[in-house]
Each structure stands twice: as C-alpha cells, then as structure tokens.
Structure 1
Amino acid sequence: MTGPGDVGEGVRQGWYGVRCVFQYGAEAPYVYEERITVWRAAGFDEAVALAETEAAEYVADIDRAYLGLAQVYHMFDELGHGVEVYSLMRDSDLPADAYLTRFFDTGDERQGTLPAAPDRSSGRVDGS
C-alpha cells in the first residue's frame, strides 16, 4: 500500500498510526478488537509490515486472530501531547445520530460512560 504520505530513500522517517482488527474466539458470539499502534517508518508499506509483524505476535498463544485489515495514517507532527495519531474519513448520507449509531454505538461495544465533563467556566464537575 502506497500513498501520498510515503517518503523515498534517504528521507527522514515519519510516524504512522496503524489500525488492525482482531477477532476473539472460534464461535459466536465473537469479540472484535480494533487496535491502533504507532510506528516510526519510511512509508505506508513499512508501517503496515511492522504492524502486521506485531499483530502476529499479539495473537500468538491466545484464542485471537488477526483479520488482515490494516489501515494506516501518516502523522504529520512529532508525537506529543494532543497530537493526532489516527484519522479515517468516510462519506455517508446518514445524519449525525444515525451515523454514530451505525458505526460507533451499536450497543455491543465494551465501553463505559465517563462522568460529566467539568464545567470549565465555573470549575464545577456536575455543571450546576
């Protein structure tokens, strides 16, 4: 896989985020995991190769399989606080609520809810 973020030989390496998808178990219901790992590489091909090598190690000795899906993102900034490490853009005719439900909130995610964000103007956590 090559793309506009690839760099040629002799050019400084960049940071890449690679998202890989895994499946746990051999029978339904399955658990799927998406992992994003960060790699220093000379281009998309090298970043994916590094991530897929790590994915093979990640699935060793456990009932988990790498599904062969690797999506790579070239990071344009050095790693640091608040740096974007992955981005995937998708076109859709769905309105916002339906889009979020379709792709991110099916009800089967293993996730929790964070407490309410603090009201930064008052310093209160509950917003009152």
Structure 2
Amino acid sequence: MDMQGAWFSVRCLFRLDAEAPATYEERITLWRASSPEEAVTLAETEAGEYAANVAGEYLGLAQVYSLADEPGDGAELFSLLRDSRLQPAAYLDAFFDTGDERQGPIETFEG
C-alpha cells in the first residue's frame, strides 16, 4: 500500500421515504483510506450528511470492498457474494428485478 492508502468502495443503504411503500437507495462511494475500517468511517460520515440532504435515513448498513485495481476503465468497484438455492431467473427476480426498482432502458448512444 502506498503512502496515500488503498482504494475502497463502500455500499450504504438508505430509506428515502417513510411512506408506504418506502423508497430505499443503495449507494456505492469510493474512498482512499489506510484500512477498511477507515473507509467505512469516512463513508458513514458522508452517509449521514447525504441522508440529511435528501431528508432520508441511513440504515446503518455499510459493506466495504478493497479494490484490487486502481480506479479506471473496467476496474471492479464492488463485489458481494451471496449463496442461494434459487435458480438464476428466480434469483434475479428476488434480489434485483422485483418490479419495484426505479429504472428504465438504456438509450442508444450515438456519438
């Protein structure tokens, strides 16, 4: 590790809207720190500020990942492994495509 520290990504979870159904947000932020603990401390400080700015609530979940690469094109910023007995389509439906996500198709880029 160099004198500036290593790069870490930290995923934090927020509740933005307390009304039912609540809106939850996962954010991944990037930090240069001397340890995973320091990266989480930095991220949680920022998470508190972010929650106050969006009138939300930081839920106290911080997952840290030590980057193996320098940030840049194709660098892996986060990885989370989860064991599941679900088949691929059911797994995606259960965790990533519940129908409640606020997402849409990617527009075709014409450069």
**TM over 0.5: same fold?**
yes
Give yes or no for the alignment of 1:112 onto 2:104: yes
Q: Which residue of the partner structure matches residue 49 of structure 2?
A: 57
TM-score by length of 2: 0.89
* Aligned-pair CA distance for 1:60: 1.6
Question: What is the 5 A alignment of 1:21-60?
Answer: 21-60=13-52
- Contact preservation (8 Å) 1:26, 1:63: no
Q: Percent identity?
A: 57
Q: What SS is found at the alignment partner of 1:60?
A: helix
Structure 1 unpaired stretches of 5+? 1-6, 117-128
Greater Rg by CA: 1
Structure 2 unpaired stretches of 5+? none
TM-score by length of 1: 0.78
Which of 1 and 2 has higher RCO (CA within 8 Å, sep 6+)? 2
How well do the aligned residues superpose, as a CA RMSD in angstroms?
A: 2.0
Which structure 1 residue ranges, 4+ long, deviate > 4 Å from structure 2? Answer: none
Q: How many residues are matched?
A: 109
Q: Which residue of the partner structure matches residue 119 of structure 1?
A: none
